[in-house]
Amino acid sequence: MSDAGVTQTWPTRWRRPPQMVKSRAWRIALWVLAIVYLYFAVSTVEVNWTRVAIGWERGMRFVAGFLSPDFTTRWRDISTGLIESLTMTFTSTVVGILISVPIGVGAARNLSPRPVYLVCRSIIAVSRALQEVIVAIFFVALFGFGAFAGFLTLAFATIGFLAKLLAEDIEDIDEAQAEAIRATGASWLQLVNYAIQPQVMPRLIGLSMYRLDINFRESAVIGIVGAGGIGGTLNTSLSRYEYDSAGAILLIIIAIVMVAEYTSGILRSRLQ
């Protein structure tokens, strides 16, 4: 290879060039800044240790109740709450999906005209910005205590979640398939049915199953602010200091969430 008797030497060291911050000085400065900030941030957290000592005993009673759960004493309340929660979860998920599919399609940039896109994106933004508990408080104020407020809250939250993820999935489809269907002279509805739906369906079903178990967990949380269901029962037993019943309720919630998680996992892997 070497013509003039000069053996060329090749570098033996290679480093990956910095991708984000090019200057070495800036990189060091940013690290130092981050560490200093973290130090001060942690040191502002005040822990009142005497308060912890008092609370410890109460906390341990809670744990003890959890470890010796009492399913029987309040079984009637628990079962009513559970049925209410499950009903709320199913109905709100179904209604939420039915509403979020058109909104999700409308919020996909590659399918919808600009004005429709903007309206649908705003609906999604509003639904996502409002936390379930806040929405639940609003609906309880509007419709009174009970499962109906919970149903509305969960359906509303489902729209933001599902429509956003569906829209993003539609924007990620293989455009070649859509182009081919468009080239046959298909109408917009036929395009959605033939080119979009087959591509996003498995994910839509997976997300719906996932939302179903989120809604069940959320139904326990929003019950605390009066939106009915197992959360209401949990709240009552906590305020009566019946930690053993509360422990039983928590165990049931965990069991149901695990079952939901497991079955949705199986279903999703079958759908691919």
Measured CA angle at 17 (ends 12, 18), to 5 deg: 145
Interface residues with other proteins (CB under 8 A) are: 174, 176-177, 179-187, 189-190, 193-195, 198-199, 201-202
3-state secondary structure (DSSP) of residue 41: helix
Residue/partner pairs of 137-140 with CB below 8 Å, 24 or more apart: 137/225, 137/226, 139/227, 140/225, 140/226, 140/227
Give the DSSP letter of residue 240: T
Beta carbon of residue 207, minimum distance to other proteins (angstroms, whole number): 17
**Beta strands per DSSP E along 9-131:** none
| Rounded-to-integer distance, Cα 104 and Cα 125, Å | 12
Beta carbon of residue 154, minimum distance to other proteins (angstroms, whole number): 30
Beta carbon of residue 111, minimum distance to other proteins (angstroms, whole number): 16
In the bound state with other proteins, the residue whose beta carbon lies nearer, of 148 and 194, is 194
Q: Tokens in use for 148? A: 């109906």
In the bound state with other proteins, the residue whose beta carbon lies nearer, of 80 and 197, is 197
In the bound state with other proteins, the residue whose beta carbon lies nearer, of 82 and 196, is 196
Beta carbon of residue 193, minimum distance to other proteins (angstroms, whole number): 6
Which sign does the torsion angle of CA 125, 131, 132, 133 carry? negative
In the bound state with other proteins, the residue whose beta carbon lies nearer, of 172 and 261, is 172
At 71, the amino acid letter reads F
In the bound state with other proteins, the residue whose beta carbon lies nearer, of 119 and 186, is 186
Beta carbon of residue 199, minimum distance to other proteins (angstroms, whole number): 7
Q: Tokens in use for 82? A: 């559970």
